[in-house]
Structure 1
Amino acid sequence: MRRLALVLAVLSALASPAVAAESVGGERAFSFVALGDMPYTVPADYDRFDRLIAAVNRLKPAFSIHVGDTKSGSTACTDDAFQKVLDQFRTFEQPLVYAIGDNEWTDCHRTGSDPRERLARVRQMFFPDPEKSLGRAPMAVESQARAMPEFARHVENARFARNDVLFVTLHVVGSNNGFETRDPAAAAEYFERNRANLAWLAASFAKARESGAKAVVIALQANLWDIRDSVGTIPPASGFRDTIQAIEREARAFGRPVLLVQGDYHTLEVTGFRDTRMRLVPGVQRLQVMGETEVHAVRVIVDPDMPGVFSFVPLIVPENVKP
């Protein structure tokens, strides 16, 4: 991965952060930055994350999306830890959209905290106004909590549009999406959140079709193919099976480009999207962002008037490349 990072550093140098996305695409082109799984090793990574934020600010994207895991799963899930990252999020000069990760709550039992209590606290701290993003210059977003009152607690699920591209966040996390059959409280939380996610995804694609959107971007934390059985399919016990099937179903009905942005595995990948039998789904791309030791990001250039819509440029911070 170290050698890959050096190669990516060269590639990113070809696209100067000072160059706006609009200058390399059509009249309606724009860019956003995708990142996640950071700061991971704390407190050591706080400075590295600050350097990345400074690089993003120099780039001046339309907005950024952080796909969760603001710490490792083995570090304490304290209010102070949450506040430190929230303070860093507030230094993004452009809007920042945040999708919750598993390390913020699902894995908090490792350090003696109650996962459901910590989830409630994350929602309270990071989404005080569910109709606004984070960042120094917040933008308006549509929240599932307001659009669907039956899912009022799900303040984290949001959507917004820019230049005929619809962006949707879902609360789908690693650790099997919190689906633990041996823990009735965890299972109940999963089923309720899964129902909310599926409803939000369906409603968002319906809105995309009705509005004539050129593309849809879905942002979430988990690698959805984390659990496979011996023959390489996604088993019924997977907490991701419903999400994979829903994305496939909605993408096929939509018939235009779809991009899934996710973290979880900490390495940069741009691939196709696979169904529960590991077959490629036409028209759907998957971007997995860097993270953990790779404190870098990805600049996504969006041109709604081009056939593929999306292109990708790594945003490498040279000072963050480990030898």
Structure 2
Amino acid sequence: MRSTDAYARHASSGHRRSRGAALAIALVAAVSLALPGRASFAKESEPRYSFAVIGGTLQSPADEAQTQRLLEAIGRESDISFIVYDGNLKSGKEACRDSLFATRQALLEMSKPALVFIPGQHDWADCGTEEAGGYDPVERLDLLRQTLFADTSSMGQNPIPLVRESEVSRFRTYRENVRWQVGDTVFVGLNVPGPNNHFLYAGGRNGEFEDRVIANAFWLDHAAEYAKRHNARAIVVLLQGDFDPERYERPERFAWLRFGRKAKRDGFLEFKRSLVKLAETFHGPVVVIHQDNDRMHAGFMIDQPLRNDKGDLVTNLTRIAFAPRNPQNQWIQIDADLAKRPPFRVSVQNVPKSLPLPVAPTLPSHNEYTAPPMPPSMPAVPGSAPASELPPILPEPPRAPSPDSSNDNDAGSTSNGTTYRYVPPDATTGAYAPASGTAQPSGVYPGIGPGTNPASSVQRRP
């Protein structure tokens, strides 16, 4: 994680909280967020709430008892509304077995507060490595969708309802992308893993990455419109990957002459553009929370590093990167009071030393679990519209029709008569356009790919 002091917007102070005989030191920082000048922000009757963020606490079976104690300590705090486990139920060296995921899921279900799980790098994107068992990452992601993301509510003993992107027929497979609301704040969970958003450099179509980029962009756009319609005052976006918001790629002249010096593709480029568009559409505070790659002395960092296509800072978007020094014994707590300025306060809380490790819970064996059978697919009903419980806030992006293989010039047309043409990969870089970009007419959502104008860009400096 690279930090620029000019962009940092935080001040820290220490305070003590009594936990019986133990004292925990909290590092508190005020999130400097730009608030719209509306009188409704000053209402004293606005509810206050707090939530906890943890992640990467399970690196081996030995960490299961400590993680259970961490969840128990958070559950003893009466002001915690919910917990977010922000990715990595396992380490990169553990095999991505069905039984391991079942064990870790059962552990998270023991949480007293509601718990929302966000998928991370080691949960599926790294499962193709030899250490992780050599699985197909996409197949492992499908397993998580059938198990950890099967319900319409969160995990935990007191679950809260969630709205999943899979309720939109166009994105039926993306059950891991969720939305929920607490008070006047809309929360969005996205599948954006490190280290480079699962962008693959091998030849061929980067299908999983390209399709997920479009799904994530749609879900952020939908959240912005939902927040505006319901008069929400803040949006919080949670993901696991460090999306490197300080990185700005400047197009180089004559770059095609530099053979053998191909720059690494930024797999988070489209996501950063979507965040800029979100902040421009929704004028209230936008907070983005993610894990950091390095441990921090304070446990977290707060800054405003994102710029728009004009090179200006996006002042209503704040990033919180967290990396506690002892993740099995610390959690990030965020206290929200939208009647105050700033409305969010961030602190690191410690598990009381007097809290003993729990007795080993009765969890599924790592070697005895078998995946549940797949539910039967719903038969198509002639003449019926696609099922969706979401309000018609945004139109769904059109499906890309398959080109006619009998046509020698690779041209075709959509149902409304719009002509499209297959675009081969770039002869110099070998890069492909986004999955649906070649079949969309100019100006059609989501603003990604050839023939469309992105809502904003973080690639250029003034």
Write out per-residue CA displacement over residues 44-99 of structure 1, whole angstroms, 9 at most, x where no aligned residue.
Answer: 21122112111111113111111111111122111121112101111111111111
Give matches, 1:169-248, under 5 Å.
169-182=189-202, 184=204, 187-225=206-244, 228=247, 237-248=265-276
Give the corresponding residue for 1:310. Answer: 344
Match of 2:318 among 275, 285, 290: 285
Match of 2:150 among 100, 110, 128: 128
1:210 deviates by 1.6
| 8 Å Cα contact 1:275-1:281 kept in structure 2 | yes
Q: In structure 2, what is the Cα distance between the partners aligned to 1:273 and 1:66?
A: 24
| 8 Å Cα contact 2:166-2:175 kept in structure 1 | yes
Does the alignment pair 1:252 with 2:280?
yes
Residue segments in structure 1 that go unaligned for 5+ positions in a row: 1-9, 19-24
* Secondary structure, aligned partner of 1:137: coil
Give TM-score scaled by structure 1 length: 0.84
* Paired residue type of 1:44: A
Structure that is richer in helix per residue? 1
* Secondary structure, aligned partner of 2:265: coil
| 8 Å Cα contact 2:177-2:189 kept in structure 1 | yes
Q: Note closer, same or farther for the CA distance 1:306–1:182 as it changes in structure 2 (3 Å cut).
A: same
Q: Note closer, same or farther for the CA distance 1:269–1:279 as it changes in structure 2 (3 Å cut).
A: farther
Give matches, 1:71-110, under 5 Å.
71-110=90-129
Give the corresponding residue for 1:14. Answer: 17
Give the corresponding residue for 1:54. Answer: 72
Q: Note closer, same or farther for the CA distance 1:208–1:273 as it changes in structure 2 (3 Å cut).
A: farther
1:261 deviates by 1.1
Q: In structure 2, what is the Cα distance between the partners aligned to 1:262 and 1:42?
A: 22
RMSD after superposition: 2.8
1:301 deviates by 0.5
Give TM-score scaled by structure 2 length: 0.60
Give the corresponding residue for 1:269. Answer: 301
* Secondary structure, aligned partner of 1:38: coil
Q: Whose Rg is larger? A: 2
1:255 deviates by 1.6
Q: Note closer, same or farther for the CA distance 1:282–1:53 as it changes in structure 2 (3 Å cut).
A: same
* Secondary structure, aligned partner of 2:188: strand
Write out per-residue CA displacement over residues 201-254 of structure 1, whole angstroms, 9 at most, x where no aligned residue.
Answer: 0010111112111100001111000895798xxx78211011111111211331
1:16 deviates by 5.6
Give the corresponding residue for 1:150. Answer: 170
1:31 deviates by 0.4
More displaced stretch, 310-319 vs 27-36: 310-319
* Secondary structure, aligned partner of 1:108: coil
Q: In structure 1, what is the Cα distance between the partners aligned to 2:177 and 2:281?
A: 22
Number of corresponding residues: 299
Residue segments in structure 2 that go unaligned for 5+ positions in a row: 1-12, 24-43, 251-262, 355-462
* Secondary structure, aligned partner of 2:155: coil
| 8 Å Cα contact 2:145-2:176 kept in structure 1 | yes
* Secondary structure, aligned partner of 1:269: strand
Q: In structure 2, what is the Cα distance between the partners aligned to 1:149 and 1:292?
A: 42
Q: In structure 1, what is the Cα distance between the partners aligned to 2:350 and 2:273?
A: 34
* Secondary structure, aligned partner of 2:170: helix
Give the corresponding residue for 2:51. Answer: 32
* Paired residue type of 1:248: V
* Paired residue type of 1:316: N
1:37 deviates by 1.5
* Secondary structure, aligned partner of 1:262: strand
1:35 deviates by 1.1
Identity across aligned pairs (percent)?
Answer: 27
Q: In structure 2, what is the Cα distance between the partners aligned to 1:308 and 1:15?
A: 25
* Paired residue type of 1:210: R
1:317 deviates by 2.2
Q: Note closer, same or farther for the CA distance 1:12–1:142 as it changes in structure 2 (3 Å cut).
A: farther
